Amino acid sequence: MRWPGGLTGLCYGGDYNPEQWPPELWPADVELMRRARVNLVTVGVFAWSRLEPQPGRYDFEWLDRVLDLLYDGGIRVALATPTASPPPWFSLRHPEGLPVTADGVRLSHGSRDTYCVSAPAYRTAARKIASALAGRYGDHPALALWHVHNEYGTTCHCEHVAAAFRNWLRVRYVELDRLNEAWTGSFWSQYYSDWEQIRPPRATQYLGNPGQLLDFRRFLSDELLGAYVEQRDLLRAATPEVPVTTNYVLGGWVPVDHTRWSTEVDLVAIDHYPGEAGPGAEEQTAFAADLARCWGRRAVGGPSWLLMESAPNLVLTPGRMHAKEPGRMIRHSLAHVARGSRGAMFFQWRASRGGAELFHSALLPHAGPQTRAFEEAVALGATLDRLAEVDSGVVQAPVAIAWDAACWWGMQAVVLPSEQLDYLAEVSAAHRSLWRAGLGVDVVAPGDELSGYALLVLPALYLVSDAYARQVRDYVAAGGHLVVGYFSGIADEHGRVRLDGYPGAFRDLLGIRVEEFHPLDAAERLPLSDGTSTGRLWSETVRLTGAEPVLTYVGGVLDGRPAVTRHRYGDGVAWYVSTRLGDDAYRELLAGVAGAAGVGPTCPGAPDGVEAVRRRTAGESWLFLLNHTDVPQTVPASGVDLLTGVRAESVTLPAGGCAVLRER
């Protein structure tokens, strides 16, 4: 496949929306892009109403000119199909193509993503505009990548969706009684005697059916995937040599299982916007990039992937924006590149004057090019330019954390024993602890090959199929080290509790049996037997059936009972952690288990706050060093720093600074 369209080295750029600006400004845009060494821009993401202002009446002239200008400037294009936001005329002509909330409210146009993915009229219109674009621009030399849609993630509860849901369920269950069984249809008189009785989960009197809620999320992911595949196939047919992708958006509300999707894209692309302004931003960045990296291995054109969107100059937290400190944009970008991103792309090139995202960040801010922000954008371009050679390197991680969208959805579908049980928070805590310990981490899906990992961590893996339980057991039996967190292995893939003692899927493997849950209040701290660490959020009655206690609870109803246990199983070891440890204790525990499993940090001796990630090929390796602290830090690592060209036996990073060492 033709990728990245004649580009060499890493991609740099972002969403470019020339249709928001007068054509007179476009040449200046290209000139400024060149100054910043931008080489790839995403065009047309929300341009449907400008490309097809009336049904079937296309206006491509402006886009022709934009693509020509860009090409002439040496800039390649990720050309978007604009199907994430149908034009006003579509909604007016096809009100049945508008989405319906669970309350039955049919939404109106006036924002983005306002369509029903199951509505035939929408699907037809989407295919038509995608075909028109493929026909017009398939041969344009600027075209480097097809960018289908944008951040698939809408939901609808209309009758179109109801019919599609039923069809999906028929395929999944074949027999209606298997569905009744999976959904525990006998609870609250929800036993179906005919497929036609089934509806999407709509507003109802009280708690909904968790099986229905979980399957609806699965269905929506597949339904949206179907819409993507339709466009992908059509684009592939038109331009077999141009890779096709879509940009993933992350978040608990997203009805997309990116693991499943990744086999259908040529390149995994993610949008990443951290939701914390402090050090959490760096931790979230590492986690997202590790996720993307592992998804990337499933893609047709993997294992590399691309950071398709991020915010140049701000972090948005609930309630306000935070301007990034100088250097932070570059450091965040390198954190992605270090983990295999083929570049750093941003939303967006030029800050909009109007529209709903007026104060969103941009490479070229409202204040224009004479700004610190744009200077830093220019500096990032130069930096990426110096890193071209790393593009072939691959990250190898000795530790794996399990991640499963269905588990997340399953936990969202039911009233849990504590509202503080939060799947993402549990997985993040494990990832953060390993990241702080300097260990490389893969984020793997059930079914992914485990044999290469010295350590596997399962945080709050509530839903576990029999097959995955078996795979994990075999992994340990063969010598693997395993850490299972509380509220794992509770239910099967339908969300039905595994009986006779928690965690049903892993009881024998762990050599324990949990009888009762004792969730804690947010501020509660249960002392543990080492005298320093404490349990938080959760505790439970663990009985030993083969495991040995490592830490016990001190005081309270669980006094003297096991809190952390260890169990030799086959050639491996299986740990159980029945409470949430504090960050330091969790880091120490995981680093200790990893050490016992024979693996250590990526860069031994790197001080706290300095992130180290290594990309390697068969013969070469590059060590990325990112100083997230606000003081200079010295790292015992040697090589040629690609950013400065200097060879050193020990690297001193300025406050907030970075180095990328060619090690061999």
Q: Which of these segments, 249-257, 268-276, 289-297, 370-378, binds a copy of itself (CB under 8 A)?
A: 370-378
Among 13, 255, 343, 365, binds a copy of itself (CB under 8 A): 365
Q: Least distance from C-beta 36 to a copy of itself, angstroms?
A: 17
Among 253, 320, 531, 649, binds a copy of itself (CB under 8 A): 320
d(CA 436, CA 586): 10
Query: Nearest-CA neighbor of 397 among 600, 607, 627, 623?
Result: 600
d(CA 162, CA 180): 17
Q: Which of 282, 309, 376, 493 is catalytic?
A: 309
Among 2, 28, 35, 54, binds a copy of itself (CB under 8 A): 54
Pair 599, 399: CB distance under 8 Å: yes
Using DSSP, state whether 452 is helix, strand or coil.
coil
- 156 marked as binding residue: yes
Q: Least distance from C-beta 550 to a copy of itself, angstroms?
A: 22
Q: Least distance from C-beta 373 to a copy of itself, angstroms?
A: 7
- 407 marked as binding residue: no
Q: Which of these segments, 6-14, 15-23, 28-36, 303-311, binds a copy of itself (CB under 8 A)?
A: 15-23
- 150 marked as binding residue: yes
d(CA 317, CA 315): 6
Six token digits for residue 389: 């050679």
Q: Least distance from C-beta 658 to a copy of itself, angstroms?
A: 19
Which 399-428 residues touch a copy of itself, going by CB under 8 A?
414-420
d(CA 400, CA 409): 21
Q: Is residue 278 within the footprint of a copy of itself (CB under 8 A)?
A: no
Which 116-145 residues touch a copy of itself, going by CB under 8 A?
none
Ranges assigned E (strand) in 273-340: 305-310, 314-317, 320-323
- 39 marked as binding residue: no
Among 139, 359, 598, 663, binds a copy of itself (CB under 8 A): 359
Angle at 72 between CA 67 and CA 75, to 5 degrees: 70
Q: Is residue 627 within the footprint of a copy of itself (CB under 8 A)?
A: no
Among 34, 496, 616, 662, binds a copy of itself (CB under 8 A): 496
**Cross-strand pairs, 452:** none
Q: Least distance from C-beta 599 to a copy of itself, angstroms?
A: 35
Nearer to a copy of itself, 320 or 451 (CB): 320
Q: Which of these segments, 178-186, 256-264, 576-584, 639-647, binds a copy of itself (CB under 8 A)?
A: 178-186
- 112 marked as binding residue: yes
Q: Which of 151, 223, 376, 611 is catalytic?
A: 151
Which 69-88 residues touch a copy of itself, going by CB under 8 A?
82, 85-88
Nearer to a copy of itself, 101 or 634 (CB): 101
Site string for a copy of itself, 222-261 (x = CB under 8 A): ----------------------------------------
SS (H, E, C) 585-610: HHHHHHHHHHHHCCCCCCCCCCCCCE
Q: Is residue 383 within the footprint of a copy of itself (CB under 8 A)?
A: no
Pair 567, 509: CB distance under 8 Å: yes
Q: Least distance from C-beta 417 to a copy of itself, angstroms?
A: 5
Which 89-108 residues touch a copy of itself, going by CB under 8 A?
89, 91-92, 99, 101, 103-108
The edge-to-edge listing of strands for the beta sheet with 639-641 is 610-616, 621-627, 658-662, 639-641, 647-648
d(CA 323, CA 611): 22
Six token digits for residue 334: 């390198």
Among 301, 519, 527, 546, binds a copy of itself (CB under 8 A): 519
Among 358, 388, 425, 467, binds a copy of itself (CB under 8 A): 358
Q: Which of these segments, 120-128, 134-142, 515-523, 651-659, binds a copy of itself (CB under 8 A)?
A: 515-523
Query: Nearest-CA neighbor of 200 among 255, 258, 121?
Result: 255
Neighbour tally for 186: CB within 10 Å? 10
Q: Is residue 618 within the footprint of a copy of itself (CB under 8 A)?
A: no
Query: Nearest-CA neighbor of 457 among 543, 584, 573, 293?
Result: 573
**Cross-strand pairs, 482:** 456, 574
Q: Least distance from C-beta 14 to a copy of itself, angstroms?
A: 16
Q: Is residue 24 within the footprint of a copy of itself (CB under 8 A)?
A: no
Q: Is residue 183 within the footprint of a copy of itself (CB under 8 A)?
A: yes
Query: Nearest-CA neighbor of 272 among 254, 286, 261, 257?
Result: 286
Q: Which of these segments, 226-234, 376-384, 493-501, 583-591, binds a copy of itself (CB under 8 A)?
A: 493-501
Q: Least distance from C-beta 64 to a copy of itself, angstroms?
A: 17
Q: Least distance from C-beta 467 to a copy of itself, angstroms?
A: 19
Burial 284-294 (b: 16+ CB within 10 A, else e): bbbbbbbbbbb
Nearer to a copy of itself, 74 or 417 (CB): 417
**Cross-strand pairs, 533:** none
Q: Is residue 351 within the footprint of a copy of itself (CB under 8 A)?
A: yes
Nearer to a copy of itself, 559 or 584 (CB): 559
| Residues with Cβ within 8 Å of residue 226, at least 6 apart in sequence | none
Query: Nearest-CA neighbor of 246 among 163, 135, 161, 126?
Result: 126
Q: Which of these segments, 279-287, 361-369, 445-453, 606-614, binds a copy of itself (CB under 8 A)?
A: 361-369
Element at 159 (helix H, strand E): helix 159-173
Which 192-211 residues touch a copy of itself, going by CB under 8 A?
192-194, 196-199, 201-211
309 is catalytic: yes
Q: Which of these segments, 135-143, 368-376, 399-407, 609-617, binds a copy of itself (CB under 8 A)?
A: 368-376
Query: Nearest-CA neighbor of 388 among 655, 9, 97?
Result: 9
Q: Least distance from C-beta 51 to a copy of itself, angstroms?
A: 9
Q: Is residue 319 within the footprint of a copy of itself (CB under 8 A)?
A: yes
Going by their DSSP bridges, the two strands 481-485 and 455-458 should be labelled as parallel
Q: Kindly tell me the burial class for residue 630, based on how many C-beta atoms sit within 10 Å of its own C-beta (0-12, 13-18, 19 or more).
A: exposed
Going by their DSSP bridges, the two strands 341-346 and 305-310 should be labelled as parallel
d(CA 606, CA 296): 28
Q: Could you list the residues known to form a binding site for substrate, using ranges.
A: 112, 150
Q: Could you list the residues known to form a binding site, using ranges.
A: 112, 116, 150, 156, 158
Which residues does the annotation mark as catalytic? 151, 309
Q: Could you list the residues known to form a binding site for Zn(2+), using ranges.
A: 116, 156, 158
